């Protein structure tokens, strides 16, 4: 595992070199892409561009199941549906809250506004348009996605309720994916190309990966399981290294600054990574997270969470306020020098990203193993 130099200055992003697990995962992606290329070379037809009269929405926590359309379908309605599309291309039926939606079996030009573009790329379906932009600047990609999504047009942000319709139109998609926040744009988007609604669960990236893989084929499902397996193996290795360096009983806690409020990573993002993936200990007095929303605390509330190691995502101004505070400096982890400072961008997004998390493991090891 590669090492980082001393703690990053606030607002500074420092990246570790790719980990062994990340290299393995990238090899997996390459293999998937090569397989796709071989299929194309072998004469597989490209997916149909179909207007959708019907669309879909997934149930909370993931909700799209796909089945291949029957090649030998005898139903007149099904046959008419294929004829109406004006092409004999292969399709799949996706179950959604709006009923079954027929989508291209192998879409070539996906516009994703739902927030799962990194998963699409991992599975060999890199989108031509995406909303996986930086949480602090919607006009650019977070640094860890720059290479993965290079060339894709940014059409919004997944937590926003709007989509750049003109930008979507410009990329001529054959499949559009949105989440329920953007449902008001459904009719406009469905007039451009087949549109489905899914509901990613940002607190369950494994479930999201399996949900997205189900939109495609068995190869995508196998790729998803291999990626999850590589991540879990790397997380186990990193967790063992951190615990060996700092003690099995050492506790860890991460939070995001937001002026006078502090957002606590308890069950999501860094909390999920620390306590579920790495097997690190939870500090006393850490509140539980019961929804997508991060719990908040005041500075006084932070002093009651007795962690041995802190990871703080802060702006320059917020860091300066904390470091000048007597309450902050009274915290044992702060007095012991066990604080890792990270820039809000890209590190806020990165812990929620399927692609970002596997990179983050290496960085956390380098930062927490003294």
What is the model's pLDDT at position 88?
A: 62
Q: What are phi and psi of 228, to 5 degrees?
A: -60, -40
Q: Which residue has the higher pLDDT, 270 or 293?
A: 270
Q: Please report which residue ranges of the chain form alpha helices under DSSP H.
A: 20-41, 76-84, 117-122, 165-170, 186-190, 205-213, 218-246, 270-272, 299-302, 316-323, 326-329, 332-335, 344-350, 354-368
Q: 21 near 239, Cβ under 8 Å?
A: no
Please count the CA atoms within 13 angstroms of the CA of 210 that sit on its side-chain side.
10
Q: pLDDT tens across 158-195, in order?
A: 999 999 999 999 999 999 999 999 999 999 999 999 99
Q: Which residue has the higher pLDDT, 289 or 79?
A: 289
Q: pLDDT tens across 229-239, in order?
A: 999 999 999 99
What is the model's pLDDT at position 87?
A: 56
Nearest to 57 by CA among 170, 211, 164: 211
Nearest to 321 by CA among 260, 262, 265: 260
What is the model's pLDDT at position 4?
A: 28
What is the model's pLDDT at position 370?
A: 79
Eight-state DSSP code of residue 135: T
Nearest to 361 by CA among 12, 18, 10: 18
Q: pLDDT tens across 316-347, in order?
A: 999 999 999 999 999 999 999 999 999 999 99
d(CA 255, CA 310): 8
Q: How confident is the model at residue 102 (pLDDT cuts 50, 70, 90)?
A: very high
Q: Which fold has domain 228-368?
A: Rossmann fold (3.40.50)
Nearest to 122 by CA among 208, 200, 58: 208
What does pLDDT average to over the chain?
Answer: 80
What is the model's pLDDT at position 287?
A: 84
What is the model's pLDDT at position 361?
A: 95
pTM comes to 0.77
What is the model's pLDDT at position 28?
A: 52
Q: What are phi and psi of 89, to 5 degrees?
A: -65, 155
Q: Which residue has the higher pLDDT, 336 or 26?
A: 336
Is residue 77 predicted with pLDDT exceeding 50? no
d(CA 103, CA 52): 9
Nearest to 279 by CA among 368, 370, 354: 368
Q: What CATH number has the domain spanning 45-71+88-105+107-216?
A: 3.40.50.1980
Is residue 71 predicted with pLDDT exceeding 50? no
Asked which of 67-71, 102-106, 112-116 is least confident by mean pLDDT, the reply is 67-71
Asked which of 56-60, 159-163, 242-246 is least confident by mean pLDDT, the reply is 56-60
- 346 prior amide bond cis, ω within 30: yes
What is the model's pLDDT at position 85?
A: 46
d(CA 61, CA 195): 19
What is the model's pLDDT at position 211?
A: 92
| CA distance readout (Å), 59 to 6, 56, 95, 197, 324 | 44, 10, 11, 10, 46
Q: Where in the chain is the domain with CATH 3.40.50.1980?
A: 45-71+88-105+107-216, 228-368
What is the model's pLDDT at position 48?
A: 29
What is the model's pLDDT at position 26?
A: 52
Selection from 213-217, 230-234, 259-263 with the highest mean pLDDT: 230-234
């Amino acid at each position: 595992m590669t090492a980082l130099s001393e703690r990053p200055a606030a607002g500074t992003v420092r990246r570790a070199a790719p980990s062994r697990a990340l290299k393995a995962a990238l090899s997996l992606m390459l293999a998937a892409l090569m397989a796709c290329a071989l299929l194309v070379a072998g004469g597989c037809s490209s997916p149909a561009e179909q207007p959708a009269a019907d669309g879909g929405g997934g149930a909370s926590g993931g909700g799209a199941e796909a089945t291949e359309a029957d090649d030998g379908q005898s139903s007149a309605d099904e046959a008419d549906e294929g004829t109406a599309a004006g092409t004999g291309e292969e399709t799949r039926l996706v179950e959604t809250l709006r009923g079954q939606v027929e989508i291209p079996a192998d879409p070539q030009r996906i516009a994703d506004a739902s927030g799962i573009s990194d998963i699409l790329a991992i599975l060999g379906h890199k989108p031509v348009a995406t909303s996986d932009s930086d949480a602090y600047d919607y006009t650019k990609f977070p640094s860890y996605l720059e290479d993965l999504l290079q060339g894709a047009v940014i059409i919004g942000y997944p937590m926003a309720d709007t989509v750049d319709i003109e930008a979507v139109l410009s990329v001529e998609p054959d499949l559009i994916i949105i989440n329920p926040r953007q449902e008001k744009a459904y009719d406009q988007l469905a007039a451009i190309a087949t549109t489905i609604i899914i509901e990613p669960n940002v607190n369950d990236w494994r479930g999201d990966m399996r949900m997205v893989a189900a939109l495609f084929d068995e190869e995508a499902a196998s790729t998803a399981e291999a990626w999850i397996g590589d991540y879990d193996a790397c997380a186990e290795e990193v967790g063992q290294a951190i615990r060996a360096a700092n003690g099995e009983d050492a506790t860890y806690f991460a939070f995001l600054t937001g002026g006078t409020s502090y957002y606590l990573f308890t069950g999501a993002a860094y909390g999920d990574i620390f306590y579920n993936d790495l097997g690190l200990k939870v500090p006393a007095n850490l509140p539980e997270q019961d929804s997508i929303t991060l719990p908040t605390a005041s500075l006084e509330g932070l002093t009651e969470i007795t962690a041995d190691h802190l990871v703080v995502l802060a702006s320059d101004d917020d860091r300066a306020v904390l470091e000048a505070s007597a309450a902050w400096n009274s915290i044992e982890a702060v007095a012991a020098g066990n604080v890792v400072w990270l820039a809000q961008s890209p590190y806020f997004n990165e812990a929620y990203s399927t692609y970002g998390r596997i990179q983050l493991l290496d960085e956390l090891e380098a930062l927490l193993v003294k």
